[in-house]
Amino acid sequence: MQKLKIRGGKPLVGEVITSGAKNAALPLLAATLLTDEPVVFQNIPDLADVKTMLKLLEQLGCQVERGDHEVRIQASHLTSTQATYDLVKTMRASILVLCPLVARFGHAMVSLPGGCSIGARPVDQHIKGLKALGANIELDHGYVSAKCDRLRGCRIVTDMVTVTGTENLLMAAVLSEGTTIIENAAREPEVVDLANCLISMGANIVGAGTTQITVQGVEKLHGTTYRVMSDRIEAGSFLVAAVATGGDVLVKDCDPNTFGAVIEKLIETGAHIEVGEDWVRAKAQGKPKAVSIRTAPYPAFPTDMQAQFMALNAIASGVSHVTETIFENRFMHVPELQRLGASITIDGHTAVVCGVDQLSGAPLMATDLRASAALVIAALVADGESTVDRIYHLDRGYEKMEEKLRALGGDIVRIKAE
Ligand code: EPZ
């Protein structure tokens, strides 16, 4: 296993280019199952989760040609509509192949993803919606089997806002007969990216990005060439790192319109924030002010930025309250931050963070993707040397993070763990 060795205390200064968004790329790759024509994606990020999804598509029989941040996929001769546990257990987003397979081929058998470290993360809403569209569903031996000659459009109201649930049901609806209305839909930019790609394939979708998405089903979709949106969470993570380390970083090739509440929260820290068309600059103005956050569906503050802001709050001036409302166990970075000297107490879904003058380096262990980013940020601030173990978590969602941080002056190297 590999780990990162970090020596803190140096401000991050310079420019960094944002990669394509993991949480847009995964549903987009699944959408290639909806047509027998070739689909080309540009700006595909080089991430472990993307590699896993491409492996799954190949297992189903898709032709996959990989290029430099580009991939060509053709699902013209599938050999299977089954996503097995061995792959699904490594990446929950594999569930996103369920609806495209049923919509195009009339059947699918997908392993239930099971929980993960941040929560139980059931997929009952995906299944409830697919059933409403007419699929016969069986849950057996840890698999969901779905069959249906042709899905029929209907009105679906999800019990809660679910990002991949909305994406899965959108992919079912585009080939369903008649009209589908998805109420209580997720408004995340990644949902809009998927809708825009499906529209470029010939789908008839109105309302993506709002809480009500209306789809007129079509008989067939055609191929397309599509550029994956930039990763708003990677961009936000670098901006938080800039402010936390007292630096000055220009994040390029991003879309500030997709940042939701993150820009406002960065401004609240007292940093100087400049926003351009496809760039954002964060320049620390002395010690950051502590900012309280409450995660919620887009456009409110994203849960995927909660851990990173907590790392900033750990060394900010003042007390902040960080409330996680989306996942039931997304505070696993707290004990690790405490090992660096952070003063944090957890009261149910709220962490109370009292900013301290200085953190001190220590050996750390990553527990999940965004917690890993938080530990890297905290280690870049801490006095002395830290190591972050189990960085396979980080590699799932950040492309070459240590290289990008080194280019900004961060003292960080990847080493082989003993
Ligand atoms: C997506 O996960 C993202 N992953 C997550 O990013 C992100 O944290 C999350 O949305 C929230 O924004 C991808 O897009 C691949 P949800 P998803 O369904 O779709 C409950 C990262 O770090 N729920 O919106 O799985 C669920 O338990 C990852 O990049 C049900 O109960 O999240 C959660 O409490 C982590 N039943 C809430 O809804 C369902 O059928 C929101 O989950 C579906 C969801």
What local confidence, expressed as pLDDT, does residue 84 receive? 92
- Dist. CA 291 → ligand 1 center (Å): 24
Residues marked as catalytic: 116
Q: How confident is the model at residue 83 (pLDDT cuts 50, 70, 90)?
A: very high
Largest Cα–Cα distance in the chain? 64
- Dist. CA 355 → ligand 1 center (Å): 30
| From 19, 22, 23, 368, mutation site for ligand 1 pocket: most ligand atoms within 8 A of C-beta | 23
- Dist. CA 165 → ligand 1 center (Å): 8
What local confidence, expressed as pLDDT, does residue 135 receive? 98
Record the pTM: 0.98
Residues with CB under 6 A from ligand 1: 22-23, 26, 93, 119, 121-126, 160, 162-165, 190, 303-304, 326-327, 369-370, 397
Percent of the chain with pLDDT over 90: 95
Answer yes or no: is pLDDT of 367 > 80: yes
Q: What is the mean pLDDT of the chain?
A: 97
What local confidence, expressed as pLDDT, does residue 37 receive? 98
| From 26, 164, 231, 369, mutation site for ligand 1 pocket: most ligand atoms within 8 A of C-beta | 164
What local confidence, expressed as pLDDT, does residue 87 receive? 86
What angle do the packed helices 163-173 and 189-200 form, to 10 degrees? 20
- With H, G, I as helix, E, B as strand and everything else as coil, classify residue 193: helix
| From 26, 90, 121, 331, mutation site for ligand 1 pocket: most ligand atoms within 8 A of C-beta | 121
Which residue's alpha carbon is at the smallest distance from atom 44 of ligand 1?
A: 162
- The H-or-E segment that residue 192 falls in is helix 189-200
Percent of the chain with pLDDT over 70: 100
Ligand 1 atom, smallest distance to 119 CA: 27
What local confidence, expressed as pLDDT, does residue 121 receive? 82
Quick check: 291 and 265 in contact, CB under 8 A?
yes
Ligand 1 atom, smallest distance to 186 CA: 24
What local confidence, expressed as pLDDT, does residue 326 receive? 97
Decide: residue 191, CB within 10 A, 0-12 exposed, 13-18 middle, 19+ buried. Answer: buried
What local confidence, expressed as pLDDT, does residue 120 receive? 78
Number of neighbours of residue 95 by Cβ within 10 angstroms: 24
What local confidence, expressed as pLDDT, does residue 245 receive? 98
What local confidence, expressed as pLDDT, does residue 380 receive? 98
Q: What is the pLDDT of residues 259-276, one digit of tens each?
A: 999 999 999 999 999 999
- Dist. CA 285 → ligand 1 center (Å): 35
Average confidence (pLDDT) over 143-172: 97
Quick check: 317 and 381 in contact, CB under 8 A?
no
Q: What is the pLDDT of residues 384-403, one digit of tens each?
A: 999 999 999 999 999 999 99
Answer yes or no: is pLDDT of 191 > 90: yes
Answer yes or no: is pLDDT of 417 > 90: no
